[in-house]
């Protein structure tokens, strides 16, 4: 067994040797890396396909068995054709309790300079030339036809590699920003910061960082519940350019995002929006401890909550100002409307008065014409000494009186014309004989002479307003 730069218990060394035997591995470092990533669970280590397991393998000997359960219940190595297809659960417990002493050799082919160990991360990072990941499948193919297709492929390959379903949305970045950072009032509190996870398949920490992030329950809970997550792979230069184009098009402020290299990836960026500006609030990578990651996630949430609270207050204040302006405008419009209504009413009354005056004038003209016409029809008054005359006393509504003589052969209509000529038209006044009961002079009487109507030589009539 290769010499490792840390102290391992006998049980841990036994698990490493058992994994090397099952997987036909030569490299102790790779076996150690897998066991750390599997939390020292041999069943998980055998069941999962880790991308960084690519070292030299021992020649496979034919065991005559076709399952992992046979391998785990026997000391023979796994056949390369059947390795990883069946469940080894039934025999792992017995093998893990084996007390056989493990001897670690100092002659292993891989030198200590070929790996970097970080005690803070409790993991081994193999510094070698890596492939594209699970079975050589890239996270994002170069020839993807849409962003949604690329993100679906990324999530599928990510889950296959690391055994965890990532919380990455499969919307385009612009849609993610619209749905998470641009939620309108009154639902501003529903806004969430955006977590952007950028990967690179050739990064030395590409296989450890996902486990660090998504196997820590506290980190995973914060990301799942308080962020909207989005991911992109920049292994291929074409895909890196596509990401840079997205950031420039969305005017995301943060030059460090556009200067990413293989050496500082994978990395997570925390995106927020303040007023109209999109900016990177913070970021973290494999170099950050768990506590540092949690702290950055929570501080960004607090910062964005403060921004949301301010946005709500500004929106409420803006709405209050708008309401005040609207009320003032409404009051002004109502005042104008009242003024217009008052003016229209004045104009209507003035027009009505004008029409009334015009009607009165026309009526007056008509009356005057009738008076003038009637005056022309009145015969000359006979003298008091003449014979065959009749004297009529006329009483008017305003207590005026008038005496008028007519010839007996004059018509009653001549009397009516005389009364009309004095300003009492028959349309407004009626003429009555002073009889008991009083009798109105009707239209049928107009053509009768006084003599024919048997009027006496002295008669009284009175005029009443109708």
Residue with tokens 């018509």: 411
Question: Where is 312: in which H helix or E strand?
Answer: helix 290-377
Percent of the chain with pLDDT over 70: 78
The CATH fold of domain 134-314: Glutaredoxin (3.40.30)
Cα separation, 449 vs 415, whole angstroms:
10
Contact 239, 245 (CB under 8 A): no
Q: Full-prediction pTM beyond 0.75?
A: no
Contact 268, 233 (CB under 8 A): no
Average pLDDT of span 94-109:
38
Domain boundaries, the chain: 10-126, 134-314, 389-465
pLDDT at 50 over 70: no
Residue with tokens 């002004």: 332
Secondary-structure breakdown of the chain: helix, strand, coil percentages, each rounded to the nearest 5 = 45, 15, 40
pLDDT at 91 over 80: no
Residue with tokens 């009516």: 416
Higher-confidence residue of 378 and 76: namely 378
195: CB partners within 8 A, 6+ apart: 223, 227, 228, 229, 230, 268, 269, 270, 271
The sign of the CA dihedral 271, 276, 277, 282 is: negative
Q: Where do the DSSP E strands lie in 54-138?
A: 115-118, 123-126
- The pLDDT confidence band at residue 9, using thresholds 50, 70 and 90, is confident
Contact 76, 64 (CB under 8 A): no
pLDDT at 125 over 50: no
The CATH fold of domain 389-465: Ubiquitin-like (UB roll) (3.10.20)
pLDDT of residue 52: 55
Cα separation, 31 vs 52, whole angstroms:
10
Whether 134-314 shares its CATH topology with 389-465 is answered no
């Amino acid at each position: 067994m290769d010499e490792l730069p840390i102290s391992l218990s006998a049980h841990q060394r036994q698990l490493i040797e058992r994994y090397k035997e099952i997987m036909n591995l030569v490299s102790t470092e790779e076996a150690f890396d897998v066991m750390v990533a599997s939390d020292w669970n041999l069943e998980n280590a055998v069941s999962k396909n880790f991308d960084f397991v690519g070292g030299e393998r021992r020649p496979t000997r034919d065991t005559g068995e076709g399952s992992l359960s046979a391998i785990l219940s026997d000391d023979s190595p796994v056949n390369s054709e059947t390795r990883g297809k069946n469940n080894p659960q039934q025999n792992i417990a017995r093998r893990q309790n084996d007390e056989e002493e493990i001897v670690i050799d100092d002659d292993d082919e891989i030198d200590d300079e070929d790996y970097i160990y970080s005690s803070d991360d409790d993991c081994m990072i193999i510094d070698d030339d890596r492939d594209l990941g699970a079975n050589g499948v890239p996270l994002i193919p170069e020839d993807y036809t849409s962003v949604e297709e690329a993100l679906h492929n990324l999530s599928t390959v990510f889950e296959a590699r690391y055994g965890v379903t990532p919380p990455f949305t499969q919307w385009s970045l612009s849609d993610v920003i619209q749905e998470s950072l641009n939620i309108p009032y009154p639902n501003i509190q529903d806004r969430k910061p955006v977590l952007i996870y950028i990967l690179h398949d050739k990064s030395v920490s590409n296989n450890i960082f996902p486990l660090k992030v998504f196997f820590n329950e506290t980190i995973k809970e914060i990301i799942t519940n308080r962020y909207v997550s989005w991911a992109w792979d920049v292994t291929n230069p074409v895909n890196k350019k596509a990401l840079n184009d997205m950031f420039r098009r969305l005017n995301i402020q943060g030059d460090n995002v556009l200067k990413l290299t293989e050496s500082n990836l994978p990395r997570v960026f925390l995106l927020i929006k303040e007023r109209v500006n999109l900016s990177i609030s913070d970021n973290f990578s494999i170099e950050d401890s768990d506590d540092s990651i949690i702290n950055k996630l929570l501080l960004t949430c607090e910062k964005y909550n403060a921004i949301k609270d301010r946005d709500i207050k500004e929106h409420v204040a803006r709405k209050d100002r708008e309401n005040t302006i609207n009320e003032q405008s409404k009051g002004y419009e109502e005042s104008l409307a009242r003024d217009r209504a008052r003016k229209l009413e004045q104009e209507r009354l003035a027009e009505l008065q004008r029409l009334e005056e015009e009607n009165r004038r026309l009526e007056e003209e008509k009356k005057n014409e009738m008076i003038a016409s009637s005056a022309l029809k009145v015969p000359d008054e006979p003298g008091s000494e003449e014979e065959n005359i009749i004297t009529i006393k006329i009483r008017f509504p305003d207590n005026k009186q008038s005496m008028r003589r007519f010839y007996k052969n004059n018509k009653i209509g001549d009397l009516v014309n005389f009364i009309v000529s004095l300003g009492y038209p028959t349309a407004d006044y009626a003429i009555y004989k002073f009889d008991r009961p009083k009798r109105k002079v009707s239209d049928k009487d107009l053509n009768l002479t006084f003599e024919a109507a048997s009027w006496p030589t002295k008669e009284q009539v009175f005029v009443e307003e109708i």
